[in-house]
Amino acid sequence: SMEPLAPGAVVLRRFACRHDAALLAAVQAVTARAPFRHLVTPGGFTMSVAMSNCGALGWVSDRTGYRYDPIDPDSGRAWPSMPAAFAALAAQAAAEAGFDGFVPDACLVNRYLPGTRLSLHQDRDERDLGQPIVSVSLGLPAVFQFGSPTRSDRPRRVPLAHGDVVVWGGPARLNFHGVLPLKEGEHPMLGASRINLTFRKAG
Ligand code: MD3
Ligand code: FE
């Protein structure tokens, strides 16, 4: 089903469920070569979310700032290539939401364990902010915070469950957003964890 969240933001509930096994196998392959790690913010805080990337560019943070980098700083090698199942799902979801021809060059893979949170932020490191971001939730449910382009506006709480796909574009592209601390639980495929994939055209 297709549910508008706000102008430019569409939730495709359970859109990725039929592909979950293939997506999780691909996450395993990616994180075998580029293991999950906790990045440090420019301010010196270690993020509670564990991250990896695949595709031509990967999002990284360190004391010098945030950037998209073609090289994994932990390995000194290119990021794993984007699995075909990832690129196809992202393009399909974007097209459903009215963004034809979405070709992501970066996929940030986020892992949440109970207690992991992501504080309110904007995604603005991508070159063309006219391109949407597609997010895919897998595993334990989370409460997503969805604000406005102004940090001080109180965000709405949106539950996101296994298989839910959200396309964020147009006027929603620069909205502040975050994830509340993950609750304990057990998912049949992912155990006590949540994985979120965010597809971007970064370069
Ligand atoms: C709204 N990830 O990786 S996905 C991120 O669940 C990030 O891991 C969260 O925020 C997660 O940057 C939320 C939903 C999301 C992603 C990008 C957005 C929502 C967005 C960009 C603009 C507006
Ligand atoms: Fe974000």
Quote the DSSP letter at residue 169: -
Q: Which amino acid is at 56?
A: A
8 A C-beta contact, residue 93 and residue 165: yes
- Residue 87: predicted pLDDT: 97
Report which secondary-structure segment, H or E, holds 26.
helix 20-33
How far, in Å, are 8, 89, 151, 154, 176 from residue 116 at the CA level? 27, 26, 21, 21, 18
- Domain range for 175: 2-200
Number of domains in the chain: 1
pLDDT of 186-200, one tens digit each?
A: 999 999 999 999 999
Give CA 67 to chain center in angstroms.
Answer: 16
Instruction: Specify the residue with its C-alpha closest to ligand 1, atom 22.
Output: 173
- Residue 153: predicted pLDDT: 94
Ligand 1 centroid – CA 118 distance (Å): 9
Query: Measured between alpha carbons, how far is 27 from 6 in angstroms, rounded to an integer?
Result: 30
Name which of 139, 154, 169 is nearest 10 in CA terms. 169
Instruction: Specify the residue with its C-alpha closest to ligand 1, atom 5.
Output: 198
CATH number at residue 79: 2.60.120.590
Closest ligand 1 atom to 196 CA: 8
Residues 6+ apart with CB under 8 A from 114: 181, 182, 183, 184, 185, 192
**Angle CA(88)–CA(90)–CA(96) in degrees, nearest 5?**
100
Report which secondary-structure segment, H or E, holds 30.
helix 20-33
**pTM, rounded to two decimals:** 0.97
Ligand 1 centroid – CA 155 distance (Å): 13
Which residues in the chain land under pLDDT 50? Answer: none
- Residue 1: predicted pLDDT: 79
